[in-house]
Amino acid sequence: MRRSWKMALSGGLRCCRRVLSWVPVLVIVLVVLWSYYAYVFELCLVTVLSPAEKVIYLIFYHAIFVFFTWTYWKSIFTLPQQPNQKFHLSYTDKERYENEERPEVQKQMLVDMAKKLPVYTRTGSGAVRFCDRCHLIKPDRCHHCSICAMCVLKMDHHCPWVNNCIGFSNYKFFLQFLAYSVLYCLYIATTVFSYFIKYWRGELPGVRSKFHVLFLLFVACMFFVSLVILFGYHCWLVSRNKTTLEAFCTPVFMSGPEKNGFNLGFVKNIQQVFGDNKKFWLIPIGSSPGDGHSFPMRSMNESQNPLLANEEPWEETEDDNRDYPEGSSSLAVETET
């Protein structure tokens, strides 16, 4: 009875957590809906007097708004991609691994299993990167998200503002969302500013519209500052072909830690996220090359050698097998094992 009560309580807490995780998304949606009303109705239809100016403002606004909402939708509802079945332990291997009590034997078992897989990164101690929750050998750049409770290919971070884990499947959409968010805020701020001055000087009537226009400029500028910083940071990451997790914890290769292990050069780094076809770079359509399980590396020697050719361990670090519950930037949360 006591056990069933604890299970019911645990299930209730998980349900509450799932519901609460949508609160940041709901806040963003409400702010966007209000900004749409304030700009289209209170500014363009009520405050702006010139018909030509109304039309021009509305056309450009809706063009940006469509891409802004489209990329936000894709960032939220594109599911994180998980490692395929060949990286999971078979039922027999799982039983052998769990029943084995000697750590050195367990390590050797993972060594033997990993020889058949295209993995070239290790833990800080030189061991095979293994997730004991998902029971799989982690592909390169794959990490376990403790919020999503899954291993995510090329995990960057878990973002509460989209209530989703950002990784190989949706990192392009997330970057586009940041870019169009910056453009959306900048466009609103620049077009509203002249009317903000007129309301401030008392040159225009309308108390209700005045409130919306003044507050619209304030909100647009506030979000613009925070978003442009975050977008600039991720542009730097893309230019170096790094994830947020790799920027905080240097990946370890066969020869040891290498912070530029995946850096292929500026152009190729961009293509690793957006693909080779430039006509898809601005559209939220999946175009990232590869399958997310393996990636080209800076050193061909590293990529051609088997993972476990060198068994010399590196110094153990505190970053091995730990979770990252709360995060590295104002709009992102890292969770990784």
Interatomic CA distance for residues 154 and 270, integer angstroms = 15
Kindly state the DSSP code that residue 151 receives in the 8-state scheme: E
Look at residue 84 and give its three-state secondary structure. coil
For the chain, the 3-state helix, strand and coil shares in percent, each to the nearest 5, are: 55, 10, 40
> Taking the CB of residue 197, how many other CB atoms lie within 10 A of it?
12
Tell me which of 134, 142, 151, 159 is the catalytic residue.
Answer: 159
| Contact between 34 and 48 (Cβ < 8 Å) | no
Interatomic CA distance for residues 258 and 140, integer angstroms = 13
Which residues, 6 or more positions from 177, have their beta carbon under 8 angstroms from its beta carbon? Answer: 68, 71, 72, 74, 75, 162
- CA 71: distance to chain centroid? 13
Which residues, 6 or more positions from 291, have their beta carbon under 8 angstroms from its beta carbon? Answer: 84
Interatomic CA distance for residues 219 and 222, integer angstroms = 5
Whether 159 sits among the annotated catalytic residues: the reply is yes
Where does residue 264 rank: exposed (0-12), middle (13-18), buried (19+ CB within 10 A)?
middle
Give the pair of three-digit tokens for residue 305. 């050698």
Active-site residue list: 159
